[in-house]
Structure 1
Amino acid sequence: MTRRLVSPSLIGKTNRSRVLKLLFENGPSSRAQLARALGVNRATIASILQPLVDDGTLIEGEAIAPSRSGGKPARPLWFNQAGAELGSVRMSSTRILAARIGMDGTIRTQGQRQIGPDWELSRIRDELLTLADECFEGHVLFGIGVAAAGMVDTTTGRILSVHLAPVLNGFAVVDELQAAFAVPVAIDHHPRVLALGDRWFGAGRGLERFASVYTGEALGIGFVHEGEVFRGVDGAGGEYGHMVVDMRGDRCMCGRTGCWETIATTGWLRAEAGRRGLPDAERADCASLVAAAGQGDARAAGLIRDYARNLAVGMANHEHMLASHNYIIHGDAATGGETMRALLQEYLAEFSPHRGEPPVVIVDPTDEDPVLLGGGGLVLSTELSTVV
C-alpha cells in the first residue's frame, strides 16, 4: 500500500476543522481555552484562528475580566451571525422541505412543497429547485445537506430506491443542487441525518454513543459511535425498517416477509386500531391513543402497549449488536410523551442484554426540526471532518 504524506494545506484544513468542532461542542471559547483543549501553544492557535476571523466566520465577543490571578481579558470567539449559513433539504415520497440554518443551530427560514409519487421526475426536480431558491438565494452557504428517504449512494449523490415513490429512483439530487448553488452538497439516508441533527444540535449533543429512532410511516435508526455517525460503504446500511423480526409475519412493501415495518409503523397501528374496533381508526396515532387510554379506553391502552413492545423489538436488536445505550425517539411515537417513553424503556430493558445499567430512552417531541437541523449537521460533519 502506498502511503502519502499529509500536505500542508490538508493539515491546515484539519486544524481549522478541529477548532470549529470544539466551538460547536463547547460554545463560545477564548483563544487560551481552545489552545488548551487542542494541546497547542498560543502562536499555533492564533495562526489557525486569525484566517477564520478575517473571513468573517468567527467574531470576537465582549471581553471577559481576567481571573484574580491576573492576565489579559479574554475575548471569546463564536460564529458570526451574519456569516455563512447551513442549507438543509429533506426529500420524502410526498413532500420536500428546505431550511436555512445559522451556525448556532437556529432555523432562519424554512418552507415545503407537496409532491406526488405519480409525478414526472422533471416536475419534482422543478419543485425542489424552486423551494431551494426561495430559501437559499442571496445567502452565503457553508454547504447544503440532503436527508433522503429510501436508499442513497453518498458517493454519487443519488437516491437509489424509494419504495413509496419509485419515480425518485436514480435521482441525482447532489448534482442538481451543486449546479444551482455552487456550494458543497452532501446526501445521506434520512435516519442518519436525523442522528446528525441530534449529534450537533439536539439531545445527542455531548453523547459519545446513541441511536436516533425515527417512527411513523416508516422506521429507521441512525446511530453515533465514538462521536461519529456510522455508515457503510457509499452510504449502505441503516435499513433497519427492513430487518426481519417475524419469518411468518406479513408481507412488506419491499417484497420480504415479517420486516420490522410490518409491525410497528403508523400503517400497522391504524390497521390494528380498526381490527380492535377503535373509533377513527384510519386517523389513529400515538398521541390520540395515549389520550384515549388516559380517559379509560382499555382497547387503546392495550394497543399502545403492543406498539411500544413492537418498537422495542427492533431497538433491542440494535442494542444486542451495537450497544448504543441511549435511544432518542422521534416522530409518531414521540408524541406519546412520558407514557410512551416509559413503555419503551420497560420493554427495551426487558429485551436487551442484562448487564450494567439498562438502556436509556429519551423522547424528542419536536416535529421536522431535528431532520432539518440534521441537514446542517451533515454539512458540518462533511466539511469539518478531521479524518486525514
Structure 2
Amino acid sequence: MTSFLEIPAVPGSLRQMNRLTVLRLLRKFGPITKPALAEYSGISRPTITKLVDELEEQSLAECVGITAPTASGGKPGALYRFNAEGVQSAGVFLTVDTVRVALVNGNGRVLGRLECPLGLDRRPEPVINAIVETLQELLTSLQITLSQLLGIGVGMPGLTSFATGVVHFAPHFPQWQDVPVRDLLKARLGIEVWVDNDCHVQALAERHFGAGQSCTDFVSVESGIGISAAFYLQDTLYRGVGGTAGEIGHMTIQEDGPLCECGNRGCWETLAATTWMVEQACQSGQATWLPLPTGAHVEDWAMTTREPDVMNTLAHAIFRAAQEGHPEAIDLVRQHAMHFGVGLATIINTLNPQCIIIWGDSMKGGNLFLEAVRTVVRQRALRRPRDMCTIIFSSFAQDVGVIGAASLVIDALFTHYQPAS
C-alpha cells in the first residue's frame, strides 16, 4: 500500500529523491526503458532497476511492451510508464447546496460518482458528516475500501489554506471559522487528506486534464451564486502567502453597493453573480415564468427566501427561459454577462493570461452568455492583452470539481510519495 509524508514534507534522503525523479520521468516520458531512465536521470542502472521494480510492485509503474532489436544486434528492452489506471483517489467537492464525491484514476477518468444535497444545517459538523457518509456510500457501491485509495482530495468554498487544510471563512456557510477540515476528515477516515479552495482544485483539473494543458498562464473563474478564481502563472498555481488567493468576487467595485454575504458592500459578485439575475427578475414582478410555489408573489419571494438551492433553481430557470426565447430572460442573461465581462477585462489587463476558463452555473447560459462576455471584454480590455487571451467554457461540466480535488492527491504523489515501511 502507498503512503505519503505529512504536508509540507521535504524528501529526506537521496533514495527518496531518486524515487520521485523516476516516478516523474515515467509519467512524462513513458513508455521508456530502464537504460533511458538512467541516462535522463543520471542515476545508476542498478538503482534504476530497483526503483522501477519497487514502483511496479506498488502498482505505480507498469511494463507495456519491449523495444525492437537494434540493427547492431542489441537486446530489446522492456518499456515502462506510470500506471495511471492503477492509481485511485477520491475527489470531494462541496458547493453551497451539494456534496459531490467521485472515484478518479490517475488519468482524470471518473470511475464512479455520487452527490448528496446538503440540508438547511450547514454548520461544520453536519457537513463533515455528509462528506464522510457520501464517500462511504460511494465506495461501498463500487466495492472499494478506503485502504485501496491513494488519498482523498477536497475542494472547499471560501478562504481555505492548502498548507494546513483549514477553512478560515466561507460566506455561505454559518459558523465556518477556522475549521480544520483536513484533520477532521483524516481522523474519521484514517487516510491522508488534502484540502484546497474550490477554484484552486478546478484549475488543477484544467491544467492536468483540460484546456489548461497547453497553457502556462491561465485563469479559471467560477461564475454562479458566487464568483472566485484561480491563477496559474508561469505554470504554477498561485495560492498566495496564506493560500487564499483568488477571492476576486469580493473586490469592492461599488463603494455603497449592495450588501454582500461576506459583510462588505459593493462586491463584484453582488452585481455579477447569478443571484443578481434572480433579484432583478423578482423585483420586476414580470417574470411569471419563474417556478415559484403556488400563491407566492414574485416581487418578494426570493428576496425573503435566499437559500442557495432556491437561488440556484431560479437562476437555472432564467437561463432555461432565455434559451427558449423569453425576451426578459435574454436581457437578464446579457446584463449578467456584461457585469461579469467587465471584471474579466480587469483580470486580463492585470495578469495578461493566455486563457480564461469559465465554469459554474453561468455555463447554462450557453453561447448567449459566452458571446456577451466576449463582446464586453473586447470593448473594455486593453487591445494587446485582450488579443492574446482566449475566453472559453470548461469542458468538464460538473465533474471538474471532483476531478480537481482528486488531482490534489495525484500532485502529492509526485512530490511526497514514499513506499509504506
TM over 0.5: yes
Residue number among 150, 157, 172 corresponding to 2:165 in the alignment = 157
1:79 is matched with 83
Decide whether aligned partners of structure 1 residues 310 and 95 sit closer, same or farther in structure 2, where only a CA change above 3 A counts: same
Q: Name 2:131's counterpart in structure 1.
A: 128
Q: Deviations over 1:339-359 (max 9, x none)?
A: 322222222233222216342
In 2, Cα distance between equivalents of 1:159 and 1:170: 5
Distance change (3 Å), C-alpha of 1:242 and 1:34: farther
- Retained in 1: the 8 A contact 2:26–2:61? no
Change in Cα spacing, 1:53 to 1:250, as seen in structure 2 (3 Å) is same
2:288 pairs with one of 279, 286, 294: 279
TM-score normalized with structure 2 length: 0.79
Structure 1 partner of 2:304? none
- Residue in structure 2 matched with residue 325 of structure 1 by the alignment: 354
- Give 1:46 shift: 4.7
- Following superposition of structure 1 onto structure 2, how do residues 48-63 of structure 1 map, counting pairs within 5 Å? 48-63=51-66
Question: Structure 1 residues 208 and 358, CA, compared in 2 at 3 Å: closer, same or farther?
Answer: closer
Matches within 5 A, 1:101-112: 101-112=104-115
Q: Distance in 2 between matches of 1:313 and 1:33?
A: 54
TM-score scaled to structure 1, two decimals?
A: 0.85
> Aligned AA for 2:218?
F
Residues 327 and 250 (structure 1), Cα distance of their counterparts in 2 relative to 1, 3 Å cut: same
Give the share of equivalent positions with the same residue, in percent: 24
Distance 1:76 1:68, change over 3 A: farther
Q: 2:180: which partner in 1?
A: 172
Max radius of gyration: which structure?
2
- AA partner of residue 250 (structure 1): P
Offset of residue 149 of structure 1: 1.0
Pick the aligned partner of 2:33 from 31, 34, 37. 31
Deviations 1:81-136 (A, max 9, x none): 3x331111122343322211111211112222222353564333332222222334
Q: Distance in 1 between matches of 2:258 and 2:123?
A: 31
1:368 paired residue number:
398
Task: Tell me what 1:288 maps to.
Answer: 320
- State how many pairs are aligned: 375
Checking the alignment, whether the CA contact within 8 Å between 1:270 and 1:281 is kept in structure 2 is no
Q: Helix, strand or coil: the match of 1:381?
A: helix
Equivalent residue number for residue 241 of structure 2: 233
**1:240-283: per-residue Cα shift (whole Å, max 9, x none)?**
11011222321212121111111111110112233453333462
Runs (4 or more) in structure 1 with deviation over 6 Å come to: 66-71
Pair 1:255-2:298 in alignment: no
Cα pair distance change 1:246/1:123, threshold 3 Å: closer
Give CA-to-partner distance per residue, 1:3-24, whole Å, 9 cap, x none: x99741442254145325526x
Matches within 5 A, 1:195-214: 195-214=203-222
Q: Contact conserved, 1:115 with 1:124, CA < 8 A, in 2?
A: yes
| Matched AA of 1:22 | K
Match of 2:333 in 1: 304
Alpha-carbon offset, residue 196 of structure 1:
0.8
Task: Give 1:209's aligned amino acid.
Answer: D
1:313 partner amino acid: V
Instruction: Note the C-alpha offset of 1:376.
Output: 1.2
Over 3 Å counting, the alpha-carbon distance change for 1:249 and 1:121 in structure 2 is closer
User: Paired residue for 2:18?
Assistant: 12
- One-letter amino acid of the counterpart of residue 253, structure 1: E
Please point out which of 214, 228, 231 is paired with 1:223: 231
- The C-alpha deviation readout for 1:280-333, integer Å capped at 9, x for no partner, is 3462436424413xx3x4433332222111111222222222222301111122
Report the CA distance shift for 1:347/1:69 in structure 2 as closer, same or farther (over 3 A).
Answer: farther
Aligned pairs (5 A) from 1:310-349? 310-349=339-378
Say whether residues 1:22 and 2:28 are aligned partners. yes
Alpha-carbon displacement from aligned partner over 1:127-162 (angstroms, at most 9, x marks no partner): 222222233451522221110011112233222112
Q: Distance in 2 between matches of 1:261 and 1:67?
A: 63
> Does 1 or 2 have the higher relative contact order (CA < 8 Å, sep 6+)?
2
The answer as to whether partners of 1:308 and 1:344 remain within 8 angstroms in 2 is yes
Query: After the TM superposition, which of the residue ranges 50-59 and 132-141 deviates more from structure 2?
Result: 132-141
Equivalent position to 1:138, from 145, 150, 156: 145
- Matched letter for residue 397 of structure 2: D
Q: Distance in 1 between matches of 2:262 and 2:369?
A: 28
Whole-Å separation in 2 of the counterparts to 1:106 and 1:99: 10
Partners of 1:120 and 1:303 in 2: CA distance: 33
SS at match of 2:163: coil
Aligned partner letter, 2:349: H
In the TM superposition, residue 66 of structure 1 has moved relative to its aligned partner by 6.9
Shift, 1:373, TM fit:
0.2
Query: Could you list the runs of 5+ residues in structure 1 that have no partner in the other structure?
Result: none
Bigger mean CA offset, 61-70 vs 318-327: 61-70
SS of the equivalent of 2:150 reads strand
Distance change >3 Å, CA 240–CA 120, structure 1 → 2: closer
